[in-house]
Chains A and B, each alone.
Chain A
Amino acid sequence: MSVAESTAPVAGGFWKDTGKTGIKSWIFSTDHKRIGMLYLYSVLGFFLVGAFLGLLIRLELIAPGATIVTAQTYNALFTVHGVVMIFLFIIPGIPASFGNLIMPIQIGARDVAFPRLNLFSWWLYAIGALIVLVSLFTGGGPPDTGWTFYVPFSARTGTNVSLAVLGVFVLGFSSILTGINFVTTIHRLRAEGMTWTRIPLFTWSLYATAWVQILATPIIAITLVLVAAERLLGLGLFDPGRGGDPIMFQHMFWIYSHPAVYIMILPAMGVISDIIPVFSRKPIFGYKMIAFSSLAIAAAGSAVWGHHMYTSGMSDLAVLIFSFLTFIVAIPSAIKVFNWVSTLYKGSISLEAPMLFALSFILLFSIGGLSGLILGAAATDIHVHDTHFVVGHFHFVMFGGTGFAFFGAAHYWLPKFYARRYREKPAIFGWLLMFAGFVVLYLSMQVLGMQGMPRRYYDYLPEFTQLNVVATVASWVMMTGVVVVVWNLWRGLFKGEPFTGNPWGGATLEWSIPTPPPTENFEEEPVVTHGPYDFKGAGVA
């Protein structure tokens, strides 16, 4: 398939209609779509960097003992892999990129409530990312503490932890400002007729996410300030020799970092809630419950941080309470899964690329979620704590969940912005490689963990070799899939076949406007007369 340049549609819309071009029209633009694109390419770039580091970790673990790097480099590898993936890819990933691109259009707004603040958030993200990158090559070298920066090691290691936590602090500020912007936008800028029960579920999930960003992120900010103060001033607040308590660091760290996993997963659930009904040709089942469960996850998820600390020496009563609360969070998550499956039931399912990513999300997220319950139960957690089982678990929810949703969103929404589309067959082929490699890779890790292989160890016992080889080879298959998917998207969006109108048949507002969207989004202020999944009302059924 080749498309001649001359027959291609002129990419108009917000790309051209301001008459401005060049780098300045992007990095100083306050248009939510341009900022969304800035975020999209930034987070995608860091995803590829993080994935490459992950490949190196797997390659090192292909055999016991030293393979390709030294132990110190290995420590730096898993630390930087974690920091890049969590703070630079997955937390800003879907909300800041697709949230910025889609959310204002979905509620019928011209832009977010604070467009300049929105641009400032991206700048803070860029500055924070730069600081993190600089920390890798200056001072005592890249941090080697793990992304969790646990004291007392983080207070004493000679590597460049101070600069890295400063970078993460700035990134947190960026995340807070995006959250404030989104909550205000959703409250104040909904179009006429866009009642709370007509808000698309993707936007609902962003609303819940934004609250978590606002309420949880300040805690990591102060915790990172404390780590920096330990290092630079010798404050001693976490130093047991001076009366401090390192467990308090763990509490404060997880008071943010557990809710943060909902910052990562909730927008992904929103993506899935928007894709499933469109490709099932059926209104979503249980709209109100899905919307409500986002808020329930955000609320309940704020009270379960202690389940990261069962082996830390907390009191047994605290362990019991946190374990109970952890099981509570599973309920709203299960509500979502059941509602998605019910939507599929008797639907006219069309297995196109976005749908394949969405369906694999349901499966992988369910496996990840259920293995989370094994970790949430104190008795079983003691056995698998800090093993590869945990690594497998959170990759199932974070990569199998949010990562797959990110690519699902890219296949679903990006053609709308580029007015061109990717080729279907390579997309499906790439998805298949990703999916197959993924399952083998992370299931092997979970089995290894069950057998007792600790996480973050440089060396391992010879009996773990076989499964480690399997996992490493699977990581190559998965990465090949990622490369195929990204290459196919890239090629398709710039040179692919034209994409106009509403070929998927979506009923949300973004499908009612020209392709690509003009800078003003809507020619006149829309009046909403139907729900987000009312395909008959939208005239597409």
Chain B
Amino acid sequence: MSHVHRDDFGAKLGMWLFLFTELLLFGGLFILYSVYLARYPQQFSSGGHQLDLVLGTTNTVVLLTSSLFAAMSVTAIKRGERRRTLMLLSGTVGCALIFLFIKYLEWSAKIEHGIFPNSPKLVAGAPGESVFFGLYYLTTGLHAIHVIVGGILIGWIGALVYRGSVHERDNVSLENVTLYWHLVDLVWIFIFPLYYLIL
């Protein structure tokens, strides 16, 4: 190839377009949520009250903190502070792991109570309840997959920072990965009130 083409603005534009697609992916689930909420307000309310508000709030704080670390890592790499960048990225991954662990606690508590897709309790219960928990598992599950993917991406970009191929003059890939991480955070900011607070 005759010349190396580099276009940081273009790279970020592509990432933003990808984030649109992610929003629409979750958007489909939010549409279902709104339609079924209008149809089964009581069952949604009783379902929402069965969720653990303390664990949900803790997870929100954990994820917001992880996003703060991610944002700070961009500033750090632009200042050329490689060690600090690595520490902040580790903090983000650490938060992601805590988030997933808490999610595991929540899910296993629900499963212990016989609330999981196609469980005898849900099949026998009111129709709206099965819909609520079906949506709950699917939405939080899809979000958890995004947390895992985001965590892996942050780990990968951390390795690139460690190797020195992402540095103060070339860091658009780090910025893009943190954009993705903010999306994961943002989606949770919508999931949390919809399932834990407003019902």
A contact residues vs B (CB 8 Å cutoff): 110-111, 113-114, 117, 176, 179-181, 183-184, 187-189, 214-219, 221-223, 225-226, 229, 233-237, 241-245, 248, 251-252, 255, 520
Contacts and interface: CB of A to CB of B under 8 A. Distances in A.
A113 B14 CA distance: 9
9 A-B pairs closest in CB distance:
A243-B127, A234-B118, A222-B28, A218-B24, A188-B10, A218-B25, A235-B134, A233-B117, A180-B17
Given A184-B17, A229-B138, A237 B131 contact: yes
Contact of B24 (A110, A117, A184, A219): A219
Interface in B1-19: 2, 5, 7, 9-11, 13-14, 17-18
14 contacts: A179-B17, A180-B21, A184-B13, A188-B7, A222-B28, A233-B117, A237-B138, A242-B122, A242-B130, A242-B134, A243-B128, A243-B130, A244-B134, A248-B32
Given A214-B20, A243-B40, A243-B127, A233 B28 contact: no
A219 B27 contact: yes
Contact of A184 (B10, B25, B28, B142): B10
Contact of B130 (A216, A221, A236): A236
Contact of B28 (A188, A215, A223, A235): A223
B89 to A, nearest CB: 23
Given A217-B21, A218-B21, 19 more contacts: A176-B18, A180-B18, A184-B17, A187-B13, A189-B10, A215-B21, A218-B23, A225-B138, A226-B28, A234-B117, A234-B118, A235-B134, A235-B137, A236-B117, A236-B122, A236-B130, A242-B131, A243-B126, A243-B129
B142 to A, nearest CB: 7
B25 A221 contact: yes
A226 B28 CA distance: 10
B138 A236 contact: no
B14 A180 contact: yes
A144 B123 CA distance: 28
Nearest to A180: B17
A245 B39 CA distance: 10
B35 A248 contact: yes
A213 to B, nearest CB: 9
A214 B138 contact: no
B7 A113 contact: yes
Nearest to A247: B35
Instruction: Say which size band chain B's interface belongs to.
Output: 35 or more
Contacts of B32: 237, 248, 252
B54 interface: no
A467 B18 CA distance: 49
Contacts of A236: 117-118, 122-123, 130-131, 134
Interface in B121-173: 122-123, 126-131, 134-135, 137-138, 142
Contacts of A183: 13, 17
B142 A225 contact: yes
B50 to A, nearest CB: 17
A222 B146 CA distance: 14
A155 to B, nearest CB: 12
B198 interface: no
Contacts of B130: 236, 242-243
B10 A235 contact: no
A225 B139 CA distance: 11
A189 B14 CA distance: 13
Contacts of A218: 21-25, 27-28
A233 B29 CA distance: 17
Contacts of A241: 127
B14 A242 contact: no
Q: Which of A183, A184, A221, A244 has the most CB of B within 10 A?
A: A184
A235 B117 contact: yes
Contact of B135 (A187, A237, A251, A255): A237
Interface string B35-47: 1100110010000
Contacts of A235: 117-118, 134, 137-138
A104 to B, nearest CB: 12
Contacts of A117: 14
Contacts of A221: 25
B35 A245 contact: yes
B156 to A, nearest CB: 15
A317 to B, nearest CB: 16
B106 to A, nearest CB: 18
Contacts of A111: 5
Nearest to B18: A180
B121 to A, nearest CB: 12
A96 to B, nearest CB: 17
Contacts of B5: 110-111
A244 B7 contact: no
Most buried by A among B2, B13, B130: B130
Contact of A219 (B14, B22, B28, B138): B28
Contacts of A215: 20-21, 24
A239 to B, nearest CB: 9
Contacts of B31: 251-252
Contacts of A189: 7, 10
Contacts of A233: 117-118, 137
A217 B61 CA distance: 32
Interface string B78-105: 0000000000000000000000000000
B124 to A, nearest CB: 10
B138 A226 contact: yes
B192 to A, nearest CB: 20
A223 B28 CA distance: 8
The CB with the most chain A CB atoms within 10 A, among B2, B23, B28, B138, is that of B28
Contacts of B18: 176, 180
